[in-house]
Amino acid sequence: MVRYGLDEHDWQALEDEVLGLFTALLRIDTTNGNETEAARVVQAYLAENGIASELDGELPDRQSLVARLDGARPGPTLTMMGHLDVVPADAGEWSVPPFAGVVKDGFVWGVGATDMKNQVAAEAVALARLKRSGASFAGTLKYAATADEEDGEFCGVQWLCEHRPEALRADYLLNEGMGGLWLPVDGRKVFLLAVGEKAFAQFRIRTRGRGGHGSVPEKERSAVIDLARAVIALGLADPPAIVSGTTARFVDVLVPDAALAARLKDPARARAAGAELRRLDPVVAGLIEPLFGATLTPTVLDAGKAVNVIPTRAEACIDCRILPEMTHTDVEAYVATLLDPLDVQWEFEWVDVTTPNASPAETPFSESIARVLERDVPDAVLAPMTSGSFTDSRWVREAFPDCIAYGFAPFLAESFHAMDGGRDHEPDERIMIEDVTYQALFFERLVRDLLA
Ligand SMILES: [Zn+2]
């Protein structure tokens, strides 16, 4: 049987190689740290394949690995990147031990199985295969397996951009994101390609009132009541819709009903159309609606210490995310339009702010990704989109403004629906053996195509 152009023997050899490195990485607990141990595993693998690499970083146990492979002639530079750290896991919620690299039922299980030791391993295998076959591509391929993506001590990619920029500087960056997941639309497979990221504009609202004994309420001067009104106004608000060019094209690819697509692309009707779409297809709506603008989600409330004491202040944290088309000033102005009419005294304070960022969607890089994918999946369509979560791509875009950075690692066997929207940061995080194996093959073919 031929799989994705490889005969049974070659596919099995590839699978063995990928799983060997991948499961070794999954067996190292890199919960927000300890990346150096994992980086050394990658280093040993690359060394076996004749590729020199360096460990670098601010902290001894939180090093990143960087390597490069020069092609046969001049050309552009591609950096393939991935982070080695993972988020904490509660073993009690898992059906297998989370750091055992278990292979069973056609899957590889473990924290980091999709986020993103799969891509770290698959990219390293692609690098090794290119080296073994003589590195006949043009330009330069860089590789980085990095520390500290999930929980910021900023000693990973941000540190490298600042202190070792040459390790990452490139024309193209391949990283994580939501890219590579696919949905069936009209008999075709629509693959997400993350070309941009929303950013944090998280803030705190504080209200103040008169304190006193709980038996003597003053409704007009209550910090808690004022805060509750503010939280309701913020939490239920639908910020004005923005429909960027990327979002309009995304809608066209994902929504086959032309009339509904037209309403979704009209800022004046987008919110109502989004609600309509949610009834028809909640999965697709969940991808499209956050692209219409800022989201405001009340998360943390804080007021009062004792039931019988009226607190003098109350606070709420709002997890707000903004699009690349927006600024933080827009958020402050919008909050004022919601809260000023309430006639409550409120204070505003930023909690965490990052910069939204994006790369152009139509580039030689996206064309190359589409070309390579279509060879193996003839009915594939690429759908560039802005991801709701952020990744280390933001540091690279900031440090090298001309670098085109995308999040993409293709999942072929399992769809977005089968994965229930993805498994990052969830118990029983797992990936099909076929998918992680194909990812290595895809990355190798992408280098050969992009750096032709
Ligand atoms: Zn990640």
Q: 424 CA distance to ligand 1 centroid (A)? A: 7
How far apart CA 330 and CA 327 sit, in angstroms, is 5
The segments of the chain whose pLDDT lies below 50 read: none
336 Cα: distance to centroid of ligand 1 (angstroms): 34
The one-letter code for the residue type at 332 is: E
Take residue 42 and report the two structure tokens written for it.
């990658």
- CA 392–ligand 1 middle distance (angstroms): 8
Q: What is the pLDDT of residue 389?
A: 80
Query: Which residues does residue 82 pair with via DSSP β-bridges, in sequence order?
Result: 145
Residue 85 has φ and ψ, to the nearest 5°, of -80, 160
> Ligand 1: distance of its center to the CA of 13 in Å?
27
Strands 199-208 and 295-303: unpaired
Domain at 8-178+357-450, CATH class:
alpha beta
How many whole angstroms from 219 Cα to the centroid of ligand 1?
46
Q: Is the dihedral of CA 325, 331, 336, 341 positive or negative?
A: positive
Q: Is the previous residue joined to 116 through a cis bond, with omega within 30 degrees of 0?
A: yes
Residues 6+ apart with CB under 8 A from 13: none
163 C-alpha to ligand 1 centroid (Å) = 22
Structure tokens, 222: 């209550």
77 alpha carbon to ligand 1 midpoint, in Å?
23
| Centroid of ligand 1 to alpha carbon of 344 (angstroms) | 40
Rg of the Cα atoms in the chain: 24
Distance 132 CA to ligand 1 centre (A): 29
> How many CB atoms are located within 10 Å of the residue 152 CB?
12
Burial class (CB in 10 A: 0-12, 13-18, 19+), 353: middle
Q: How far is the CA of 158 from the centre of ligand 1 (A)?
A: 15
**387 CA → ligand 1 middle, Å:** 12
For strand 107-109 and strand 430-432, is the pairing parallel, antiparallel, or unpaired? Answer: antiparallel
Q: State pTM to two decimals.
A: 0.90
Ligand 1 geometric centre to CA of 452 (Å): 29
- How high does pLDDT run on average in the chain? 95
304 CA from centroid of ligand 1 (Å): 37
Given this structure, which CATH class describes domain 197-353? alpha beta
| Ligand 1 center from residue 350 Cα (angstroms) | 25
| Separation CA 353–CA 65 (nearest Å) | 28
138-146 and 64-70 beta bridge pairing: antiparallel
Cα of 329 vs centre of ligand 1, distance in Å, is 28
Distance in Å, CA 437 to ligand 1 centroid: 19
**Which sequence spans correspond to the domains of the chain?**
8-178+357-450, 197-353
pLDDT of residue 148: 94
One-letter amino acid for residue 60 of the chain: P
CA–centroid distance, residue 325 to ligand 1 (Å) = 23
Instruction: Provide the pLDDT for residue 208.
Output: 96
Q: Report how far apart, in Å, the C-alpha atoms of 255 and of each of 182, 191, 195, 258, 332 are.
A: 14, 14, 19, 7, 33
Which residues, in sequence order, are CB contacts of 54 under 8 Å at separation 6+?
65, 66, 67, 167
| Cβ proximity of 274 and 292 under 8 Å | yes
Planar angle of CA 180, 169, 410, nearest 5 degrees = 10
Distance 359 CA to ligand 1 centre (A): 19
Residues 6+ apart with CB under 8 A from 410: 180, 182, 191, 373, 435, 438, 439, 442
Token match 């540190």: residue? 159
Structure tokens at 422: 């993805």
* pLDDT, tens only, 391-431: 999 999 999 999 999 999 999 999 998 888 888 889 999 99
Secondary structure of 42-74 in the HEC alphabet? HHHHHHHCCCCEEEECCCCCCCEEEEEEECCEE
CA of 405 from ligand 1 middle (Å) equals 15
